[in-house]
Every structure is written in structure tokens, then in C-alpha cells.
Amino acid sequence: MRRAELGITSGSRMEDILRSCIVCRLGLCCNGQPYVVPLCYGYEDGSLYIHCAPEGRKLEAIRANDRVCFEVEEIAELERTGDGACDWDMRYRSLIGFGRATILTSREDRLHAAKVLLGHLASARGVTVDPGDMDVSGMLAIRVEVDSMTGRQSERQSS
């Protein structure tokens, strides 16, 4: 990282960011080309959980290469700092991570993924839900086991 003073090195702070965000950008390699897709996700015990249709480009890419990259960010404030075209400042925290994606096909695994995702989204918005025994027959799920992450924040970002 070019500016080490902006780095987030605490694992617990990185997990806080993962728990507070609701959209990740998942980077895949699809037929030799980069492919990035924004997705809602859930986070639990070092893994991201994503739901998806039973077919599509994401699944094709993961079947060909299970190595993935992901990114999440919190933007706290965008502020005008002067009259010039480039006189803007932003407070943010962001993470980039790497891991391995697994396509979850069993009903039990898909149900767990759906419950993690729904619980994460509800918690991030300060509400509670009881997902009960959801119907997951029309979906697959992806678990990304996080291997490593790096974090960064703006100079003005408070803890």
C-alpha cells in the first residue's frame, strides 16, 4: 500500500466493515477476461455468502477458476473543500480481499447461505427477521472463504 498510514490492519475493524456493508463487488476471471459483478452478501465466520440463479456467468467463471477477489466500501461523507474542479474530499473505509469460491448445491447449505444473507442485510439496517424455513429450491449459493484482506480509510475517517 502506497500510503501505509491509511491502512486498516486490525482484523476486527475489517470484520466490522464486512458486517456493516451490504454490497460487495465480486471479481472473477471469465474466459480469460476480468468480470466484476456487484452483489448483496452475508458475512459469517470468515466467509461471504451470495445467492444466485442456478445458472449464469458467475457460476461458469467459478467452475473454471475458483479464485476470486472482492471489494466493499463505506462512504461516510463527500464534501466540497474549495472552488476548484478537484476540490473534493471523501471519508471512506474499504476492503479488498481474496479467497476461494464454492458453489453450494445441497438444500442445507443453500438454506444456511440464505439465512446468513438475510440476517446480514437485516442487521446492517437495524432490523430483525425470522427467516423460518425458506424455500430455496430456485436458487444456488456461493460461499467465498476469505484467504486475505487489506483495508484502507481516508485521512479524515474516524476510528
pLDDT per residue as tens digits for the range 33-81:
999 999 999 999 999 999 999 999 999 999 999 999 999 998 778 888 8
Please check whether the domain covering 28-153 is classified as CATH 2.30.110.10: yes
Q: What is the mean pLDDT of residues 2-15?
A: 73
Sequence-distant (≥ 6) Cβ neighbours of residue 69 within 8 angstroms:
26, 27, 96, 97, 98
Which tops the pLDDT comparison, 68 or 158? 68
| Residue extents of the structural domains in the chain | 28-153
Threshold 0.75, pTM exceeds: yes
Please name which of 19, 91, 100, 28 lies closest in space to residue 60, comparing C-alpha atoms: 28
Residue with cell 477476461: 33
Coil/strand/helix, residue 119: helix
For the chain, the straight-line distance linking the first and the last C-alpha, in angstroms and rounded, comes to 19
